[in-house]
Amino acid sequence: MTHLFEAISAIMKNFTDEAPKPQLHVGEVMDLWTAFTAFHEAHALYQIGLNTTTDKDLQHVLRNALEGSISDTRRIEKLLLAEGVPLPLVNPKKPISEPGAVPEGVKLKDDEIANLISAKVATSITFCAQAMSKTIRTDVGLMFFSIQINLMKFAAPLKNLMLSRGWIRVPPFYSPPGAPERE
């Protein structure tokens, strides 16, 4: 347990240290750019979901996802601009439309929306962990850690909704040869 406290103490010391921050290295810039772009793509996915679903619970999840993602994206944008890094081009915000006006051949089903979001969130959680492990700057690492925590807080209710609606897609179970039968 001592090692955990020592690690947290070292991180906090680096974060509160008055020493000037080093310039971002190319890996940090690339990870920030990638996150900024991926989160903007997620905004489009959430907006498309809101334009297609009539499920109130899924709409609530989508609104929370969009709000949280916009907040995290703004933090990344603020850091990039403060460091003099030009922002990548992103797609414009999707216009609002009525779910009933979307043709069936184009409309995503609720389980498709939920599974796309779930996959996007899982990928983003993993990406944040990788970016955090590569950064030299404590402030960048803590930002990715904070974003990762936000994503995990969002992922739990999404998973519960998916389980309750039968939307979750589970890979086949594996039983090695010779293993006892499960009931």
Over the stretch 123-176, which tens digit does the pLDDT of each residue have?
999 999 999 999 999 899 999 999 999 999 999 999 999 999 999 988 888 888
- The superfamily in CATH containing domain 25-91+108-165 is Ferritin, core subunit, four-helix bundle (1.20.1260.10)
> Which stretches of 53-92 are DSSP H helices?
56-82
Q: Which position has the token pair 């680096």?
A: 14
Q: What is the mean pLDDT of residues 99-125?
A: 92
- Rounded CA separation 148/154 (Å): 10
Q: What is the pLDDT of residues 14-28, one digit of tens each?
A: 555 566 788 999 999
What is the pLDDT at residue 11? 60
- Rounded CA separation 17/39 (Å): 30
- Rounded CA separation 116/110 (Å): 10
Q: What is the pLDDT of residues 35-87, one digit of tens each?
A: 999 999 999 999 999 999 999 999 999 999 999 999 999 999 999 999 999 99
- Rounded CA separation 35/21 (Å): 21
* H or E segment and range at residue 145: helix 138-165
CA angle 34, 118, 163 (to 5 degrees): 170
What is the pLDDT at residue 173? 87
CA-nearest of 147, 146, 170, 168 to 158 is: 168
Q: What is the pLDDT of residues 33-46, one digit of tens each?
A: 999 999 999 999 99
What is the pLDDT at residue 113? 95
Q: How many CB atoms are located within 10 Å of the residue 4 CB?
A: 8
